[in-house]
Each structure stands twice: as C-alpha cells, then as structure tokens.
Structure 1
C-alpha cells in the first residue's frame, strides 16, 4: 500500500488514467495537473496548484511517457492549459521526491540534476520495455493491416533494430507468415537473428543493400531510413516508424517519392492505454513501496 504517499500526476494521455486509478487503489494522495477536461471524473483527487505549498509534501511526480519537450513543457490531451516544469519548482519538493517519466530528454535530465532530484526513465527498464512491446506489436500489426491492401502473410518485412521491441516484432510477423529480415549492427545480433530462423542485414552498410520489401518498420531512434534507403523501396512499401519523435525516417523524401511513411511513437497509449497504463503503474507502485521499506530500515 501507498498510504501516506503524496503523488502528483502531470499531463499525459489515456495511460495516466489507469495510473491514477492504481494509485487510488494503493491508497495514495493524488494530485492532478492537466486533467481539467475529464469533468470531475476523479473527485477524490486534488488539483495541483503550482503556486501553492503542495510541492513541499510530494513523494513523487509522474510525467507522461514522452516526458517534456526541449523547453520543459508537458503535453496533455485532457487540457488546453500550458504545463511546464522548472528547476525552481522542483527544488520546492522534498529531497527524496522522485520524478518518473517514460523517456528523458536532455532538458528533463538537466532540470532534475539542477534540482538534485532522482529521475527515473521507465522505458530504460527491461521490465517496462518488454511488457510494453506487447501492445506495441499489436498496434504495429493493426497499422500494417489498415494501411495496405495485401496480407502480412507472404509479405517481405524488414525490421530495423533488434532491441526489446524489434525482437518482439520480428517474432510476431514471422508467426503471421511474413518473410522477415532484421537489421542489426553486430555479429552477435546477426547470430541471434539466425537462431530465430530469419535473415539479417547489416545496418552499417545500408547504402549498399537492396530493399525489396512490402513493409519497412523502424525501431531505431536515429536517422537510419534516409533518402539513400527510401529511393530503393518499391512504391507500394509502407514505412512504419516506431521511434520516438522525430523518428528515424526522412518523411519529406518519402512523400516526394509517393511512399506512405507514418510516424507512430507511443503506440501502446493509442491501441491499449489501459494495459499500457497498468504496466507503468505497477512498476511505479513497486518502486514507491521499495523506497518506503528502505526508509523504515
């Protein structure tokens, strides 16, 4: 239980709804910012007043999966208000207050460092990322079906990256009957792909490779699907870029070539926000309980 804990949930999407519910189940005091359009759905919550004394009793802040932008602003789909973090406000929280986010950009890291508060990037944790890959895969399959007029079965699929999401994607598309090739950057990665019964390609020399595929799925948060790759793709190919913004594909050149390219970060929050929210909420609640036990020792 989190009885006596004070937790602020600031901005975000439908995943935060499940996080708020879980925090209440665990008996935490919950403060909200960025949920004013929910029309009083959480009457037991307290509206977070950034100018008031509430910051001084917070044990944790929960930010959206995307964290903040480069200016410290926080996006929220349930409000039209501007939400933002400053180091000065964070310094008003207790020294033990933790900041939970999905992804931490340099701005957020700098804010936390300046305020001397612990920043926890949930998507860097294996447990969160692996569980989160399940709705990501389902959402990718949904997008692949919606935006093409041919079956996944029998199609040629290239997946760039063999991380936690890439591996789950490769297995799922293989099980659906696609011919899967996985882009890797090491001999160990190539060996793993071979063990999985699939083909690999070396992403270190992509300019020398052919890309005769029906789907090109990128999981790498770097500009890997550039013009040199896109110019080799057949016109019917669908590019699905799952990397965090701004993605890893040259969308301008893809449009110029008439190739459909879609940036779809945060798929779990789109296709399965309840499940995705539970994954994050369970980890946060466990972490807060661990902190509580350590404080009692």
Structure 2
C-alpha cells in the first residue's frame, strides 16, 4: 500500500520521511511524530500494520540499543524486536543500522533482505565528517581555552579518526595520533601528524589538553587516566560503553564525555540525506526491475 514504511528512529528518520515525500513516494510511519511530516505521511495504527503495508522497511540507527526494543520518538508497547520478527514477511527489505546477529539470522529464515547503514563505506565516511565536526564542537563547548595551538591526542586512526585529525590540524592544533599498527602510525606521519604507539601513552598523556578516543575498546584505564591533566577535555566517540574507565575518570575529577550518535544530533538533515540516497538506490533498481 505504501512505498516505504519507517519504524521508529530519531530526527534523522523524520527528515528521511520528508525527503522521500519530495521524491513522490508514499510513506507510512510508526513511532514518529513531528510537524514536518504530520500532514504528508500516513501514521500506522500498530507496528504490525505498518510493517505489512510496505515492501521497504526503514528503521533506527542503532536498530536496537537493548536488544529488546526499537528506539522511537514516540514510544509504544509494541515497538519490540519480537513483534518485528513476528510481523515481517518474505521478500521485504530492511534498512537500519547496527543490526544484531539475532535479527539478521531471523531475517535470513524469513527471506527478508537487510542493509546495515553502518557497514557501508560511503555512509561511514560521510558520517565521519559529521562526527568529527560534532566532536570538535563538544570540545570547544567543554573547554575554557582555545583549540588554537593546543596539544590534541587522537586515539586510533580509522576513518573517523583520520577526518578528525585533519580537521583539528586545520584549526592550527598540534595533533598526535596514537595507534597500535605500524602502518597506521606511518600513515599518520605522512599526513603530517605526530604518531606514537598505544603502549607509549603513559609518558605522553600529561601533555595533552584535548583527548579524542575513537577506539571501541577500553584504552584509557585507571592507570592511564591517573596521568591525564586535570584540565584536559576527553571526548569519547567509541561505541558504548566507550573507551575509558568512567568510574576512574570521575574519581580523578576528569572532564570525560561519551558522545554517541553525533551525526543524528549535530547534522540530522545532512545525515538523513545520505541515508535517503542509499535507500533510493534500491527503490530505483526495484522500479527498473
């Protein structure tokens, strides 16, 4: 009955609904309420009805934070993974982020295709830009000092870390990258950054005013945090529970911030357009087929 069904999510899914409508697609939503889509999108009476009214399903990033419920702006008792599993039918396709292995397995059983936004390189790179900008914004908001000429540490050198380091350098900061792999450190030095192994952090930590972590593992333990300056600002971009010992950070009186879902918070419209474009690729292929 509808071209696309949108199940839960955040403000990004609101913008996606509005962007789909501009493509003359019919949209039904569930778990989303916003003036932007109030008069242009149908509203499902239940999650089951919404799921079964479209071939294409678009949902949240992450698809579930607790493995039980699907995040939504308007909570409903039936917004659960179990209800989702019970409602899907063969030949549908799900677009969401960080889809769990259990959901993937059930989709396979039901012959439902799925596309994980967070596993697409083009999306990850674009999100890395928003994440880097948001991380710098958080650092500026948290600190009474300028970034200019400050000593910044970036932990890791993946896609997000590379973008972040480049943008920090463009703001005339002194950037050091700490990475485990020799190749990553060599690449960081080729970019013009200082580079150190992770096992050499202890001696260097007291010198940094800003610390940005992108590694999804416990890197800054209690021992390393004891070496961090009390004036330093720590911005943790790693997936929950983050890359540092927050209990120890609090005990040491450090300014540590776990900043998750930055693209959806600081640039939801631009982030939504990236996701919309990816779904539209599938829509156009389906129409041609």
Instruction: Give your verdict on TM over 0.5.
Output: yes
CA-CA distance at 1:81 after TM superposition: 2.6
Structure-2 separation of matches of 1:182 and 1:48: 48
Deviations 1:129-170 (A, max 9, x none): 111122222211111111111111111111112111110000
Say if 1:107 and 1:155 are closer, same or farther in 2 by CA, change over 3 A. Answer: farther
Say if 1:107 and 1:246 are closer, same or farther in 2 by CA, change over 3 A. Answer: farther
2:74 to 75, 79, 102: 79
Say whether residues 1:224 and 2:224 are aligned partners: no
Q: Counterpart of 1:9?
A: 6
CA-CA distance at 1:197 after TM superposition: 0.7
1:148 to 143, 147, 150: 143
**Number of aligned residues:** 288
How large is the RMSD of aligned CA atoms in angstroms?
2.3
Q: Counterpart of 2:114?
A: 119
2:5–2:50 Cα contact (<8 Å) kept = no
User: Please, which moves more after superposition, 162-171 or 106-115?
Assistant: 106-115
Q: Counterpart of 1:27?
A: 24
- Structure 2 counterparts to residues 200-215 of structure 1, below 5 A: 200-203=195-198, 205=199, 209-211=203-205, 212-215=207-210
CA-CA distance at 1:61 after TM superposition: 1.5
Structure-2 separation of matches of 1:199 and 1:31: 51
Q: Counterpart of 2:39?
A: 43
User: Please, which moves more after superposition, 215-224 or 81-90?
Assistant: 81-90
RCO comparison, higher one (Cα < 8 Å, 6+): 1
- Structure 2 residue runs of 5 or longer lacking an equivalent are none
- Structure 1 residue runs of 5 or longer lacking an equivalent are none
1:66 to 52, 62, 86: 62
Say if 1:237 and 1:20 are closer, same or farther in 2 by CA, change over 3 A. Answer: same
2:26–2:41 Cα contact (<8 Å) kept = yes
1:194 to 181, 184, 189: 189
Query: What SS does structure 1 have at the residue aligned with 2:29?
Result: strand
User: Please, which moves more after superposition, 56-65 or 39-48?
Assistant: 39-48
